[in-house]
Chain A
Amino acid sequence: MTTLTEELDQITAKVQQEQQAAGDRINVCVAAGCLSLHSDAVQRALEEEAKKTGARCAVRGVGCMGLCSAGPVVSHESAASNSDEQAARLYGGVQSEHAPQLIASLQGEPVTKLAISRQLPFFTRQTKVVLENSGRINPESIDEYIATGGYRALMHALNEMTPAEVVQEISASGLRGRGGAGYPTGLKWATVARVAGAPKYVICNADEGDPGAFMDRSVLEGDPHRVLEGMILAAYAVGASQGYIYLRAEYPLAVKRLGIAIREAKRMGLLGNDIGGTRMSLNLEIRLGAGAFVCGEETALIASIEGHRGTPHPRPPYPAESGLWGSPTLINNVETYANVPPILQRGSAWYAALGTAKSKGTKVFALSGKVRHTGLIEVPMGMTLREIIFDIGGGVAEGHTFKAVQTGGPSGGCIPESLLDIPVDYDSLTQAGSIMGSGGMIVMDDSSCMVNVARFFMEFCMSESCGKCIPCRAGTAQMYGLLTRITEGTATHRELDLLIRLCEMVGATSLCGLGQTAPNPVLSTLRYFKHEYLAHIEDKHCPAGVCDCAASIAEVAR
Chain B
Amino acid sequence: MMATLTRPQLPSTDKRWMIVQGTMRKHGYSRNALIETLHTVQQSFGFLDKDAIRFVAASLQIPPSQAYGVATFYHLFQLRPPGRHTCQICLGTACYINGAERLMGHAEKQLGIQAGETTPDGEVSLLAVRCVGSCSFAPVSIFDEQIHSYSKVEALDAQLKAWTQP
Residues of chain A at the chain B interface (Cβ within 8 Å): 32-33, 35-37, 68-69, 71, 208-214, 217-218, 249-251, 287-293, 304-310, 366-370, 374-376, 406, 409, 440, 442, 444, 448, 453, 456-457, 460, 466
The residue on A at minimum CB distance from B66 is: A308
Asked if A374 and B70 make an inter-chain contact with CB atoms under 8 angstroms apart, the answer reads: no
* Complex-state Cα separation, A544 to B147, whole angstroms: 30
- B135-153 interface with A by 8 A CB criterion: 135-138, 140, 146-149
* Complex-state Cα separation, A367 to B52, whole angstroms: 42
The residue on B at minimum CB distance from A218 is: B133
Min CB distance A231 to B, Å, is 20
Q: Assuming A290-B75, A310-B73, A368-B94, is B39 touching A249 (CB within 8 A)?
A: yes
Cβ 8 A contact of A442, one of B73, B97, B132: B97
> Can you report 30 residue pairs joining A to B where beta carbons are below 8 Å apart?
A32-B147, A35-B147, A36-B134, A36-B149, A68-B137, A212-B135, A214-B133, A249-B39, A249-B76, A250-B132, A251-B133, A287-B36, A289-B76, A290-B38, A290-B74, A291-B74, A292-B73, A293-B130, A307-B33, A309-B70, A310-B73, A366-B136, A368-B138, A369-B93, A369-B94, A370-B98, A376-B136, A440-B93, A440-B135, A442-B97
Cβ 8 A contact of A291, one of B76, B96, B149: B76
Min CB distance A454 to B, Å, is 12
* Complex-state Cα separation, A305 to B76, whole angstroms: 16
Cβ 8 A contact of B136, one of A250, A375, A409: A375
Min CB distance B8 to A, Å, is 18
* Complex-state Cα separation, A170 to B115, whole angstroms: 47
The residue on B at minimum CB distance from A467 is: B73
Q: Which 9 A-B pairs have the closest CB atoms?
A: A211-B92, A68-B136, A290-B74, A212-B93, A291-B76, A307-B32, A291-B75, A211-B131, A214-B133
With a cutoff of 8 Å between Cβ atoms, the chain B residues found around residue A308 in the complex are 70
Asked if B70 and A460 make an inter-chain contact with CB atoms under 8 angstroms apart, the answer reads: no
* Complex-state Cα separation, A409 to B92, whole angstroms: 10
Asked if A290 and B77 make an inter-chain contact with CB atoms under 8 angstroms apart, the answer reads: yes
Q: Assuming A292-B73, A304-B35, is B96 touching A456 (CB within 8 A)?
A: yes
Asked if B93 and A211 make an inter-chain contact with CB atoms under 8 angstroms apart, the answer reads: yes
Asked if B34 and A307 make an inter-chain contact with CB atoms under 8 angstroms apart, the answer reads: yes
With a cutoff of 8 Å between Cβ atoms, the chain A residues found around residue B50 in the complex are none
With a cutoff of 8 Å between Cβ atoms, the chain B residues found around residue A212 in the complex are 92-94, 131, 135
With a cutoff of 8 Å between Cβ atoms, the chain A residues found around residue B96 in the complex are 456
A-B contact count (CB 8 A): 132
Asked if B70 and A307 make an inter-chain contact with CB atoms under 8 angstroms apart, the answer reads: yes
- B114-166 interface with A by 8 A CB criterion: 129-138, 140, 146-149
Min CB distance A331 to B, Å, is 17
11 further interface pairs, Cβ-Cβ under 8 Å (given A32-B134, A71-B136, A370-B98): A69-B136, A208-B133, A218-B133, A249-B39, A289-B74, A304-B35, A307-B35, A309-B70, A406-B93, A448-B97, A457-B93
Q: How many residues of B contact A (CB 8 A)?
A: 37
Cβ 8 A contact of A288, one of B32, B36, B93, B146: B36
* Complex-state Cα separation, A456 to B92, whole angstroms: 9
Asked if B135 and A213 make an inter-chain contact with CB atoms under 8 angstroms apart, the answer reads: yes
The verdict on B31 contacting chain A, using a C-beta distance below 8 Å, is: yes
With a cutoff of 8 Å between Cβ atoms, the chain A residues found around residue B137 in the complex are 33, 36-37, 68, 71, 374
* Complex-state Cα separation, A68 to B134, whole angstroms: 9
The residue on A at minimum CB distance from B60 is: A307
The verdict on B11 contacting chain A, using a C-beta distance below 8 Å, is: no
Cβ 8 A contact of B147, one of A36, A217, A448: A36
With a cutoff of 8 Å between Cβ atoms, the chain B residues found around residue A291 in the complex are 74-77, 130
* Complex-state Cα separation, A534 to B93, whole angstroms: 24
Asked if B93 and A442 make an inter-chain contact with CB atoms under 8 angstroms apart, the answer reads: yes
Asked if A214 and B147 make an inter-chain contact with CB atoms under 8 angstroms apart, the answer reads: no
Min CB distance A389 to B, Å, is 14
Asked if B93 and A409 make an inter-chain contact with CB atoms under 8 angstroms apart, the answer reads: yes
- Best-surrounded residue of B38, B73, B136, B140 (most CB of chain A within 10 A): B136
* Complex-state Cα separation, A550 to B48, whole angstroms: 44
Binary per-residue interface labels of chain B (67-90) against chain A in the complex, 1 for a CB within 8 Å, 0 otherwise: 001100111110000000000000
Min CB distance A281 to B, Å, is 19
With a cutoff of 8 Å between Cβ atoms, the chain A residues found around residue B35 in the complex are 287-288, 290, 304, 307
The residue on A at minimum CB distance from B138 is: A368
* Complex-state Cα separation, A508 to B96, whole angstroms: 29
With a cutoff of 8 Å between Cβ atoms, the chain B residues found around residue A305 in the complex are 32
With a cutoff of 8 Å between Cβ atoms, the chain A residues found around residue B75 in the complex are 290-292
* Complex-state Cα separation, A212 to B98, whole angstroms: 12
The residue on A at minimum CB distance from B32 is: A307
Asked if A306 and B32 make an inter-chain contact with CB atoms under 8 angstroms apart, the answer reads: yes
* Complex-state Cα separation, A208 to B35, whole angstroms: 19
With a cutoff of 8 Å between Cβ atoms, the chain B residues found around residue A71 in the complex are 136-137
- Best-surrounded residue of B69, B91, B140, B149 (most CB of chain A within 10 A): B149
* Complex-state Cα separation, A69 to B69, whole angstroms: 42
Asked if A374 and B147 make an inter-chain contact with CB atoms under 8 angstroms apart, the answer reads: no
- Best-surrounded residue of B98, B132, B140, B148 (most CB of chain A within 10 A): B132
Asked if B136 and A33 make an inter-chain contact with CB atoms under 8 angstroms apart, the answer reads: yes
Min CB distance B60 to A, Å, is 8
Min CB distance A302 to B, Å, is 11
Binary per-residue interface labels of chain B (29-57) against chain A in the complex, 1 for a CB within 8 Å, 0 otherwise: 00111111011000000000000000000
Q: Assuming A36-B147, A290-B35, is B97 touching A369 (CB within 8 A)?
A: yes
* Complex-state Cα separation, A380 to B131, whole angstroms: 26
With a cutoff of 8 Å between Cβ atoms, the chain A residues found around residue B91 in the complex are 211
The residue on B at minimum CB distance from A293 is: B130
Asked if B129 and A250 make an inter-chain contact with CB atoms under 8 angstroms apart, the answer reads: yes
Q: Assuming A305-B32, A307-B33, is B133 touching A217 (CB within 8 A)?
A: yes
With a cutoff of 8 Å between Cβ atoms, the chain A residues found around residue B131 in the complex are 210-214, 250
Cβ 8 A contact of A374, one of B34, B130, B135: B135
